[in-house]
Amino acid sequence: MMELDSLYQEVILDHYKHPLNKGLSEEYDVQVHHINPSCGDEITFNLSTEGGIIKSITWDGVGCSISQASVSIASDLLLNKTLEQAGSIAEVFIELMHSKGTKDGDPLVLEDAVALAGVSKFPARIKCALLGWMAFKDAAVRIKQLKEPDTRGSN
Amino acid sequence: MSLDVATIRKDFPIFDRTVRDGKKLIYLDSGATSQKPNSVIDAEGDFYRFHNAAVHRGAHQLAEEATDAYEGARSKVASFLGARAEEIVFTKGATESLNLIAYAMGNAASGSRFALTSKDQIVVTEMEHHANLIPWQQLAARTGAQLTWFEVLPDGRLDLNSINEVISENTKVVALTHQSNVLGTINPLDAIVARAHEVGAVVVLDACQSVPHMPIDVKTLGVDFLVFSGHKAIGPTGVGVLWSSVLEELPPFLFGGSMIENVTMKSATWAPAPKRFEAGVPNMAQAVGLGAAIDYLSKVGMDKIHEHELLLTKYFLEQLQKVPTLKIIGPTDLELRGSCISFTVGQIHPHDLGQYLDSQGVAVRTGHHCAWPLTRKLGVPATTRASLYLYNFEEECDLLVEAIVKAQKYFA
């Protein structure tokens, strides 16, 4: 049962039962919808920024405890970060997910998200943990396109 | 039970291993793929070891032996289904078999009874596996034909009340599953086949979940096409079967070597069926392995396998329904029902349940089971599925139930 407990840490089950920022805000800068086609898990993700700083993340979705806890953690962790900071935190998290159980994750960077380190030992569940983070990455790209129009053509 | 499961299990080497730190393997995922007996593994290996050569070609002894083995497998499949050998096409799987039919129909000359136009209809059902839905969606998109379907009722049965409207004078093809891979529902074919033939349509039957589990005689079913995959019938992966009594009327789907009658620089004509549909050097070792699988199933007896699975399904349904908050998704009686048993357990997401069961050595499938429109219709994002076969036994059900109850405590 040790292996399973490393997957279902208490903090994950807490986030699953009491998710943060769940319920879509009426206003948002961008909204994305992501699906995990292998299992049917779905998430809708709203993102808003002010001056490059993330001011609001809300989401709704259906899925397993890993996918729901992971997006709950992300929605809290990335709040009030700049898009660049949030982007690099996401990269650190994605690297942790692909570490095949060889890394614990840096709690100073990832905070509650280190509880998901055990997922990396279960290949079938990595996509579950990444669903919300991929939605964030997608939303971040779109928000940059929206708020920082490409000026390369003006030179 | 009339089946000697303990003896059968000795033929399947995978049951000698353990999973997840020494747990006994409880394999309840045969609906996804079945385990293989030594005779199948050996037949595939021995083909490569002793007889390997390209069939239908070489002027040497090995080519003769390979051809005999390959065509022998075709004859075995034919007699297993009550068919003739020339009605059997080997494909790489049931998915390819279904795509072959859809693409061949798309290639049919205008005026042929298979040629589709925007005036025609293709009929499917809401309980189809993606493999028997998307090829028809795509054929409809290519030809402008209309895709319509039989709906699924809350009890997991097809709504056949409006059969005469769903299958209309414009219907050219009715494609449906014999047994749902999610619900376990076995569809009644007589009325559907009669109505389809009344309007001049052909019936395509996805028999992936029925051929491995019950005696099948294509003449009794009355359908025009039947497909199944080898790997769900204790055979190798990479081989499927397409049976049809109307192959001679269909143009080819894949073009290349072996499927021709005559070739010039500008044109080609086609070999008679089944070779017309087997372009390239075929999956010989896998076909031979499937022949060995059919030998094995026939020796045990399809009647006995079916009876064993019915008794087992009855026991599973009874025991599972005793678990609080567990809900069976599909028929709960044995009438026209096979051994795929889908269920949900309270608010536990099937992925989490499946993960917990795995930690106890129990292998099940979770998700939408490649039948997403069906799970959407039933209002469940996903289910957990236990699917049974000749090597399963009652105590495995008890262990499954025990593991589910422990999972309920774990996720409480």
* pLDDT (mean) for B314-329: 97
Q: Spell out which chain B residues touch chain A, with contact meaning CB-CB distance below 8 angstroms.
A: 20-21, 349-352, 355-356, 359, 366-368, 372, 375, 381-382, 410-411
> What is the C-alpha to C-alpha distance for residues B40 and B173, in angstroms, rounded to an integer?
35
> What mean pLDDT, rounded, does chain B reach?
96
Report, as residue numbers or ranges, the catalytic residues of B: 370
* pLDDT (mean) for B127-148: 98
How far is CA B276 from each of CA B106, B127, B206, B249, B256, rounded to the nearest angstrom?
16, 31, 22, 11, 10
Contact B382 A122 (CB under 8 A): no
Task: Phi first, then psi: give them for residue B404, nearest 5 degrees.
Answer: -65, -45
B351 to chain A, closest Cα gap in Å:
6
Residue in A with minimal Cα distance to B348 = A64
> What mean pLDDT, rounded, does chain A reach?
92
Retrieve residue B130's tokens.
Answer: 């993606």
Specify whether the CB–CB gap between B206 and B128 falls below 8 A.
Answer: yes
Q: Using a CB-CB distance cutoff of 8 angstroms, which residues of chain B are in contact with residue A40? A: 367-368, 372, 375, 381-382
Secondary structure element (H or E) that encloses residue B26, with its range: strand B26-27
Query: Inter-axis angle of helices B94-106 and B134-143, to 10 degrees?
Result: 10
Say what the pLDDT of residue A2 is.
Answer: 63
Contact B368 A39 (CB under 8 A): yes
* pLDDT (mean) for B3-31: 97
Task: Phi first, then psi: give them for residue B348, nearest 5 degrees.
Answer: -75, 125
Secondary structure element (H or E) that encloses residue B123, with its range: strand B121-125
> What is the C-alpha to C-alpha distance for residues B412 and B398, in angstroms, rounded to an integer?
21
> What is the C-alpha to C-alpha distance for residues B102 and B122, in angstroms, rounded to an integer?
10
Please state the ipTM of this predicted complex. 0.87
How far is CA A35 from each of CA A132, B101, B134, rounded to the nearest angstrom?
10, 31, 19
For domain A2-147, say whether CATH 3.40.50.720 is its number. no
Specify whether the CB–CB gap between B357 and B407 falls below 8 A.
Answer: yes
Say what the pLDDT of residue A40 is.
Answer: 81
Radius of gyration of chain A from its Cα atoms, rounded to whole angstroms: 16
What are the tens digits of pLDDT across the range B187-233?
999 999 999 999 999 999 999 999 999 999 999 999 999 999 999 99
Rama region for A125: left / alpha / beta (φ>0; ψ in -120 to 50; rest): alpha
Beta bridge partners of B270: B260
Q: Using a CB-CB distance cutoff of 8 angstroms, which residues of chain B are in contact with residue A4? A: 355-356, 359
* pLDDT (mean) for B9-21: 97
Residue A155 — very low, low, confident or very high, per pLDDT cuts 50/70/90? very low
Nearest to A72 by CA among A7, A137, A13: A13
> What is the C-alpha to C-alpha distance for residues A15 and A29, in angstroms, rounded to an integer?
25
Residue in B with minimal Cα distance to A123 = B355
Specify whether the CB–CB gap between B380 and B344 falls below 8 A.
Answer: yes
Q: Is B327 helix (H, G, I), strand (E, B) or coil?
A: strand
Q: What is the dihedral of CA B335, B341, B344, B348, to 10 degrees?
A: 170
What are the tens digits of pLDDT across the range B38-83?
999 999 999 999 999 999 887 899 999 999 999 999 999 999 999 9
> What is the C-alpha to C-alpha distance for residues B298 and B292, in angstroms, rounded to an integer?
10
Q: Using a CB-CB distance cutoff of 8 angstroms, which residues of chain A are in contact with residue B367? A: 38-40
Total H helices, total E strands in chain A: 6, 3
Beta carbon pairs, A and B, within 8 Å: 43
- Of residues B349, B359, B410, nearest to A63 (C-beta): B349
Contact B355 A63 (CB under 8 A): no
Q: Using a CB-CB distance cutoff of 8 angstroms, which residues of chain B are in contact with residue A17? A: none
Residue in B with minimal Cα distance to A62 = B381
Q: Using a CB-CB distance cutoff of 8 angstroms, which residues of chain B are in contact with residue A66? A: 351-352
Q: How far apart are the first and last CA of chain B?
A: 37
Q: Spell out which chain A residues touch chain B, with contact meaning CB-CB distance below 8 angstroms.
A: 1, 3-4, 7-8, 13, 38-42, 62-66, 122, 125, 128
Nearest to B317 by CA among B337, B302, B291, B300: B337
Say what the pLDDT of residue A127 is.
Answer: 94
Residue in B with minimal Cα distance to A41 = B381
Query: Inter-axis angle of helices B350-359 and B394-410, to 10 degrees?
Result: 120
What are the tens digits of pLDDT across the range B291-310?
999 999 999 999 999 999 99
What are the tens digits of pLDDT across the range B162-171?
999 999 999 9
Specify whether the CB–CB gap between A67 and A41 falls below 8 A.
Answer: yes
What are the tens digits of pLDDT across the range A74-96?
999 999 999 999 999 999 999 99
Identify residue B143 by its one-letter amino acid code. T
What are the tens digits of pLDDT across the range A27-62?
999 999 999 988 788 999 999 999 999 999 999 999
Say what the pLDDT of residue A67 is.
Answer: 95
Task: Phi first, then psi: give them for residue B108, nearest 5 degrees.
Answer: -65, 140
Is the pLDDT at B139 greater than 90, yes or no?
A: yes
Q: Using a CB-CB distance cutoff of 8 angstroms, which residues of chain A are in contact with residue B350? A: 64
Residue A154 — very low, low, confident or very high, per pLDDT cuts 50/70/90? very low
Best B182, B348, B355 member to test A by mutation, with max A CBs in 10 Å, is B355
What are the tens digits of pLDDT across the range B145-198?
999 999 999 999 999 999 999 999 999 999 999 999 999 999 999 999 999 999
- Of residues A1, A39, A66, nearest to B367 (C-beta): A39
Is the pLDDT at A150 greater than 80, yes or no?
A: no
